[in-house]
Structure 1
């Protein structure tokens, strides 16, 4: 029987992010996806600022920025007349601590393609057309049954199983984990990727009922393509058809007549408003992530982004435990991510309700949707220092030899970063030496990082030791280097040797 440390079911954005996290740490895995072909469909098209920071760390940000674009301004019509123009997200300028402050639009198939390319660069691969059909776990691992493209079944033994297999997750169902919430069968949204030459690609075009603000139809240009994402609410008494002719009829009805001709339909889906969350994210050696753990309304663009960050949180912890870190580290996945998912679910539901009521500001999105404010404060990995658990801010700085850079350049990679701030040069004597996954950087006039702009001091203070986790969150802020060393030991990095020099 084949044996593997981690088996991931589902190669959407969540499963791909987790696979990349394991691949760059040298952890073998099997990534099984029941889809046989390349990803298709625009689906979740919004990438939040925090996700862009995650993608920077994973090494895919440049590819995302090459084809992504800011959200276009919205233009609403009554028939053929423009009745309103505005934006869902106001563009923001980068700041020293937030280099990517604005939401980026990219069709989901392209996001998945970028992640797949990165996984291949790291030597990983996807077993396409391979579906998980059953599993059972015991104290030592999980025995999984897979069905391959030829229909043949095989059994594989994994130390851990991660279900990233979507809202209808077989992993969650097999575990018997309740998926509490609501599905609103009467609230349906028809989505498809279409082409037309009859509207500009500068605006997001929307036709709605003036009295109720109920969406009639929308055409949003998808960057890096010649396609638009078509959206429409079909009549409640109709069974929608997944055909170009049916989409055209809905558009004509919304416009009050012909005038915009759809020329192709390459992908379509009927979405029912579904708001649910799993009661647990971990059962023994099995974990749930992404849509398998929580499904959202599309309002606010939170679903894909939350799934990516589930995987980003879980990946380094799985790798750490497989390398010898305490098993308790894995308990912090559910501890940290379940409350975050609940909060994000509440936010997207509140935005959906504003749209239902027809609030004047229902289309607007604020800082709360960027996911930059999400925190793990108060958790068992965030109990040293007032800022522990918060996102680690970026900061322009320069290296000791004068090269300009940013703190995010220092954080990029699978390691823990320890910042030793001015006045604590002796702190390095208490920190791990010879551990490639712990990098100590001194900040000061004679340090590894020179903060002549004061941006590191503004973000982190001017004395003490700051431990930044591999997922870019502050783990500990302390004036006691021994306390920082103790925190590192909890992450699986004991002090194996002493050094007076920064590594």
Structure 2
């Protein structure tokens, strides 16, 4: 006897997308999260074209586009000089842009859809153990309850309890640099349709617009403060960007370290992984949340087929399709991160080389296809 068809552990964007997709297909779904309430910070802020395409299937794309800000360009700059410009407007998609929207908004809209389909998130509910057999998986929780499911999916992040309980390794490492993330209001900053990456001698800084008029600033900083102040962010922008902007206030900020890891397997019997439980990497290129949402849509299709009596091998097909993509993304973001954080004496030569490469149309087209996620169709 099963309490549910699929137990999903973790209610971030990946878990919510998986729940909505399965509910829409008629599956019984239990979605749990260890936190008492969803995070209200922006965290991941860019939704790419491929993600917008796949979210059409659960009727979330139109809602996201309504609340987001379209950024059709991505540029790499050295001060006021543009080294490389990626234009998404010519891509073969209905969404030729990066949609800038706070992760909290993405999660809210996905949760709205889950509830419309008859589901919800049970929280706070922390997984303790998983025991699987030929017929299903038994999960126990910190509140003393148990859930019997036909399948369990871990969408519970880098420190996944599901992955640990399944005995799946998480191979990789961490970068030496710490990073600062801050959402700030800027006086004197007018351009709002472009994500800019500054590769200055003093280091890298990303400046990206958000739909509420704020800007996302991300930068590697040795000994970064846990909560960046307006003065600290101002110093970064003065040293690394084109100047001319004044930080009036910090809406939200944090410090983080970057890992690059991929799960050794995406499946162990009736237990599966998706999203950050399966792969984590540098935010360079804005692929993390997008990759997880795309995992969820592919996995939902596989689970729907199996639940309807299809061959169990569909779950292996999911793992075989998605894990190589994660390996590619980790490799790409690793190269971008190492380029961006290379030793200071080498940075002028790096920028000069990028200025030459940036004038090659095939290079910018290939980057547009990869950053948009369309290369993974």
- Using the size of structure 2 for normalisation, the TM-score is 0.84
SS state of the match for residue 95, structure 2? coil
Shift of 1:22: 0.7
* Structure 1: distance between partners of 2:145 and 2:26: 25
Aligned counterparts, 1:51-450, within 5 A: 51-68=51-68, 69-71=70-72, 83-85=80-82, 89-93=86-90, 95=92, 98-147=93-142, 152-184=143-175, 186-200=176-190, 202=192, 210=200, 212=201, 214-215=203-204, 218-223=206-211, 225-234=212-221, 236=222, 238=223, 240-244=225-229, 247-252=230-235, 254-255=237-238, 260-266=246-252, 268-357=253-342, 358=347, 359-360=350-351, 361=354, 365-374=367-376, 391=377
Shift of 1:86: 7.0
* Structure 2: distance between partners of 1:305 and 1:93: 21
**Which string of whole-angstrom CA distances, capped at 9 and with x for unpartnered residues, describes residues 225-258 of structure 1?**
1332232333x2x3623153xx423423652699
Gap change, CA 1:343 and 1:233, over 3 Å in 2: closer
Alignment correspondent of 1:46: 46
**Which string of whole-angstrom CA distances, capped at 9 and with x for unpartnered residues, describes residues 251-273 of structure 1?**
2365269972432433x332212
SS state of the match for residue 56, structure 2? helix
CA contact (8 A) 1:73 1:86 kept: no
Q: Which has the higher contact order (CA 8 A, sep 6+)?
A: 2
Shift of 1:73: 6.4
Unaligned runs of 5+ in 1: 375-390, 392-503
- Using the size of structure 1 for normalisation, the TM-score is 0.64
Higher helix proportion (structure 1 or 2) = 2
Gap change, CA 1:254 and 1:369, over 3 Å in 2: closer
* Structure 2: distance between partners of 1:253 and 1:341: 31
Shift of 1:75: 9.0
SS state of the match for residue 366, structure 1? helix
* Structure 1: distance between partners of 2:197 and 2:372: 27
* Structure 1: distance between partners of 2:236 and 2:182: 17
Shift of 1:70: 1.5
CA contact (8 A) 1:232 1:250 kept: no
Gap change, CA 1:170 and 1:71, over 3 Å in 2: farther
Shift of 1:310: 1.0
Deviates more, 1:249-258 or 1:9-18: 249-258
CA contact (8 A) 1:39 1:112 kept: no
* Structure 2: distance between partners of 1:207 and 1:303: 17
Gap change, CA 1:259 and 1:277, over 3 Å in 2: closer
CA contact (8 A) 1:75 1:203 kept: no
* Structure 1: distance between partners of 2:199 and 2:340: 13
Unaligned runs of 5+ in 2: 359-363
Gap change, CA 1:370 and 1:172, over 3 Å in 2: same
**Which string of whole-angstrom CA distances, capped at 9 and with x for unpartnered residues, describes residues 176-198 of structure 1?**
211111211x2111112233445
* Structure 2: distance between partners of 1:175 and 1:27: 23
CA contact (8 A) 1:73 1:203 kept: no
CA contact (8 A) 1:248 1:262 kept: no
Give the superposed CA RMSD.
2.9
Gap change, CA 1:285 and 1:249, over 3 Å in 2: same
Greater C-alpha radius of gyration: 1
